[in-house]
Amino acid sequence: MSTRRLVILGKQGAGKGTQCELLVERYGIAHISTGDMLRAAVAAGTELGRQAKAVMDAGDLVSDELILGIVAERLTEPDTAAGFLLDGFPRTEAQADGLFALLAPNTVDRAIDLDVPDEVVTQRMLERGRADDTPEAISRRLELYEAETAPLRKLFADQGVLVSVDGLGTPAEVHGRIVAAIETAP
């Protein structure tokens, strides 16, 4: 496959950031994170960026419709021609359905589910020492992640593109597993 359209799923602390850097470098594709997209749209002053800024300034969550608009806008940029790695998107079934509609008649090539046990990501988050990384907050985020992501796993599995990759080991070991999963025919 010459163009790579990838999605990475994984709990906070699973190592997605490290793996995204390695994948972008390996395949020469655009790394697209929802946080980066929102900040870029706001900074660029686009219509969608202005809408997102108003929502975020009010302390609300950006709607699926707005996120989809920003993703659609970002996917038209020239650096996505060789492919892309979506990080933090989709987060909901509506966003996944919107992504499938955007890419139709194609879909993503692989949705990589970076699998790391809760106790490991909890320990990693506690060790990084952020003020919002209390055991209670981490537990709540993991519950929310599982509730939101379980339906996405099914949607990507139904598309025949979901691969679960063991996220334990050195970054190089995990990267090797991800590359093997990407490059293995469905």
**49 Cβ contact partners less than 8 Å away, ≥ 6 residues apart:** 38, 40, 41, 42, 43, 70
Q: Does an H or E element contain 51, and which? A: helix 47-57
Q: CB neighbours (10 Å) of residue 76?
A: 7
Tokens standing for residue 17: 């950031």
pLDDT tens digits, 118-136: 999 999 988 887 777 888 8
pLDDT tens digits, 136-170: 888 888 988 888 888 899 999 999 999 999 999 99
Q: Give the global pTM.
A: 0.85
Instruction: Write down all domains in the chain, each with its CATH number in brackets.
Output: 4-28+83-183 (3.40.50.300)
C-alpha–C-alpha distance, residues 176 and 114, integer Å = 13
Contact assessment for residue 93 and residue 151, using Cβ atoms and an 8 Å cutoff: yes
